[in-house]
Amino acid sequence: MEWEWLDRPCLAWFGEQQLFERSGAISMASRTSASTGLIVTTVIFAVLGLASFVAFAVFFSKFSDEKKKNADMAAQNAEYIGSERNSDSVRAMLDQAKSSEQKTLVGFLVAQNGALSSRISGERRDTLSSIEDKLKGYEGNDQPLVSMVQSRETRIANLQSELDQAKSARDQALADLKNEVDRVNAIDATNRETLEQTRAEVKQYKDQVEEYRKGADGFREAQAAAVERIRTEADEDRNRLQDTIKTQNEKILVLESQVAKLRGDRGGDLLKPQDESTLVDGGVLSVNEIDRSVVINIGRDRKVVLGMTFAVYPNAGSIKVVGDGEYTPGKATLEVINVGETTATCRVTSELRGNPVVRGDVLANAVYDPNKQYRFVVFGNFDTDRDALATPAEKNEVESMIRAWGGTIAEEMSGDTDFVVMGGRPVLPPRPSATAPLEVALEYTRRFRDVERYDSLLREATATGIPVLNENRLYTLTGKTPQPVRRAGN
């Protein structure tokens, strides 16, 4: 098997040699005259061929061993350095290795790695993983070590600055504390001195009070006797006055019964002025059935202005108070749209079905009078915008309407007041507690005064017989047609 590497030409050559030897022997046997030199030559060639064959076998075996060694060496080199051996970085490290004391690149890298490990952790044998394990407990371990060190240095510098500031603040605080202690000690000394003086003064006052008390006891006894005497006299005077009042009340009752009897007997003879609110201001001259316009018999000469409204009644007797002070509503309401010298044209703003405006109807407006200027007092909450919410601010619109129609506004009632227009009674909120804010207390006081003034005006107007109009009565007597009340959500 070990001779399998020999090829077929070699085997053929050995066969020919054997055949030649056999034939030579035969020839020598048959031919005794063959040359001895030819045999020697043949033997020499055979020996040389055999030597060549042996030399070839030996050299081929050594070549195979060297080739295997080279392959093993290439595999071993691939474990240390592969295709990157030709990169610029590897060549640069190789140049550094040549220029340093290290003879090989691997030795240079081992030395560099040990130096880095020693620089980082202090141990030359530490690896990257062992160094990372050591850094796991430190903040910022995912950053480069230089950045980590710079960050720590910056933080240390900041902490040192804060520490210096804290020390400075502490020193300042200690100085302030010392100054404050000195100041408090000085104040305490002054207070002690003042306290001693005060105690001396208090003792002096106590002595004086004791003297006054002794004198006051005698004065109190004298005053008590005087008070008892005055009380007794007052009781006597009160009893005497009560008897007088009782007698006078009996006389008043007698006189009132006599007055009532006389009023009943002579009531028809008494002179009573006509209510200002029931006075007729004009009449209807004609009615245009096509455009429902109305011509009235008063114009610019009677101080009629555009926009003025009138309530229409069949006659003067229809303008009267019925029920609980309510006025009879008119059959229609008019609004002036054109003013002439002696007449004016109006449009019908509302009208009762089946009772139209006709010639001869009379007009009334409680605010309007061409011969005088009515004086009004207006107070309370009004709902002129018809939003079902009466407010004090809407009183201004009522006053503006009265002024526009020639009336005047007064803040208080007087002898020349013609009408009192009362809106809704002001709403009084619950009384605030003693701990309520000042603004709440002031607002409650303001509203309480408004309620008192409202009640006072109503009582005074009722007592003096001045006509009292609420918002609806004012609209009825002036012929103003208010808008329907808008409820919430409509």
Per-residue pLDDT reduced to its tens digit, 224-247? 677 677 777 767 877 887 788 778
What Cα–Cα distance (Å) separates residue 48 from each residue in 9, 37, 40? 17, 16, 12
Euclidean distance between CA atoms 365 and 344, whole angstroms: 15
Query: Which pLDDT score is estimated for 13?
Result: 44
Query: Which one is the CATH code of 280-365: 2.40.10, 1.10.390, 1.10.1060, 3.30.70?
Result: 2.40.10
Is residue 269's pLDDT more than 70?
A: no
- Domain 372-490: which topology? Rossmann fold (3.40.50)
Is residue 180's pLDDT more than 80?
A: yes
What is the per-residue DSSP string for 253-284?
A: HHHHHHHHHHHHHHGGG---PPPGGG---EEE
SS3 425: coil
Euclidean distance between CA atoms 76 and 434, whole angstroms: 101
Measured torsion, CA atoms of residues 97, 102, 107, 112, in degrees rounded to the nearest 10? -70
CB 292 within 8 A of CB 347: yes
The length of the chain is: 490
One-letter amino acid of 345: T
Would you state the structure tokens that stand for residue 310, as one six-digit string?
């009138």
Q: Can you give the residue ranges of every domain in the chain? A: 8-80, 88-136, 146-266, 280-365, 372-490
Most confident of 15-29, 102-116, 173-187, 469-483: 173-187
Stronger pLDDT, 284 or 235, i.e. the higher one: 284
Query: Across the chain, what does the average pLDDT equal?
Result: 77
* 329 pLDDT tier (thresholds 50, 70, 90): confident
Euclidean distance between CA atoms 396 and 376, whole angstroms: 13
> Is this structure's pTM higher than 0.95?
no
pLDDT tens digits for range 99-151: 666 557 677 677 767 777 777 767 777 776 776 776 676 776 666 767 777 77
Strand partners, 283: 362
Domains 280-365 and 372-490 share a fold: no
Stronger pLDDT, 163 or 127, i.e. the higher one: 163
For strands 408-410 and 375-379, give the pairing. parallel
Is residue 330's pLDDT more than 90?
A: no
CB 353 within 8 A of CB 331: no
Stronger pLDDT, 298 or 253, i.e. the higher one: 298
pLDDT tens digits for range 31-85: 545 578 788 888 888 888 888 888 888 888 888 788 788 777 766 666 555 556 6
Euclidean distance between CA atoms 85 and 78, whole angstroms: 10
| Mean per-residue pLDDT, 3-23 | 45
Query: Which pLDDT score is estimated for 359?
Result: 93
CB 483 within 8 A of CB 372: no
SS3 435: coil
Q: What separation, in Å, do the N-terminal and C-terminal C-alpha atoms of the chain show?
A: 120
